Structure 1
Amino acid sequence: MLTAKLHNGKIVTSVEYDVNLHGTRIFCLDKNCSSPLIFVQGNEGRAAHFKTSGKGDSVHQSSCGFFKLLNMIESITKVKEYQEEGIHNDMKEIVIRLSMSRIDPDRETSAVEREKGSRDPAALKVKNDSLTPQSISSVKGVVKLLTEYEPDILASILINAGGGNKVPLSDIIVNQEDAHEILWNDSTINNVG
């Protein structure tokens, strides 16, 4: 967990947590859990994070978003729950650009774009140190985001779908009933969220 709830209800991330400032009473941010947590200092091999001790009452409840690895549907459900609770309001927002033009069947690519896309395999790749990807351009990228990141991080993500609109992740990925209602009411990304 990279986020926790303080004894006063405020949310703190592991990066900004200071035991002298915030105290030692920290809890799981999931309303179904609220288990006591401990802070694990980061080092060169791992990032600072919060975790349960695994003993006594410091164990995640089975309905908690951090109890087990979540599948895509469970993950987006927890993200929506956290966003409705306003947990993301205390967190720094992460904006990811969404560009799905590659999967558009009507898009025509020019020879210049195809040549630009072919890179030298021996070229040095420098990994970006950001916590999440800066952009997503495929359905596979969306699935990877939902399955590899914990719900507390996903709750702070806003998707920039173009035109300067920043929409919470849980408003973009919806079940078929919600999608039907959005289409029936002629809603678009511009007026969702």
Structure 2
Amino acid sequence: MALQTANIDVIYSQRSAPYFQPDINDISSKINQKTKAIVLVSPCNPTGSIISNEIMNQIHQISKQNKIWIILDKAYEHFEYSKHENDSKERTESEIESEYESYEGIISLYTMSKSYGMAGWRIGFLVHPKSLTNQLIKVHDLNLTHASVFSQKVASLALSDADSNEKYHSMNHTRLNTIRSEFSRGIQRFVNEFLPPNGGFYC
């Protein structure tokens, strides 16, 4: 919506059931000289699908070949329960992320509202190449709203304690995975076919 308000054309690529993975051929066919970025959301809202490592790598290669940005929306990064069954066994997620770090064309977006239970605090952060810093500061200076100082300090404290972070996310993951399993068993009593979501907390 924000992009459309800025008069930027947004082209959507459909995902097909049951796994709702990005269609590589469809994405490639929609790239033209005006394309600036590919936006990916994983886990996805509302399907709960997680983009497989294999498909993520293919999109990565497409972006490099066409010299366009990848914008990763990682709002639900700590709500992943299981990977896609077709994930490549030869390339781990950490290997792909390591390759991303050497590529200047990726921006990752994060929010504190989901993973840290800070909904309504209007606080988040992004990870980007250093080459973008000055341009992002210019954009931020023109924002009509901003995160409060209190929100920023609490977010900084939450992110700086690695041990507490790991314990909190592990406990929350176990709790949500239990809820997911119980819900899945319950709903299967009433429907003939049901595919449990791989991520998120809204499916």
Which interval holds the TM-score relative to the shorter structure?
A: under 0.3
**1 or 2 for the larger relative contact order (CA 8 Å, sep ≥6)?**
2
TM-score, normalised relative to structure 1: 0.25
Structure of larger gyration radius = 1
TM-score, normalised relative to structure 2: 0.24
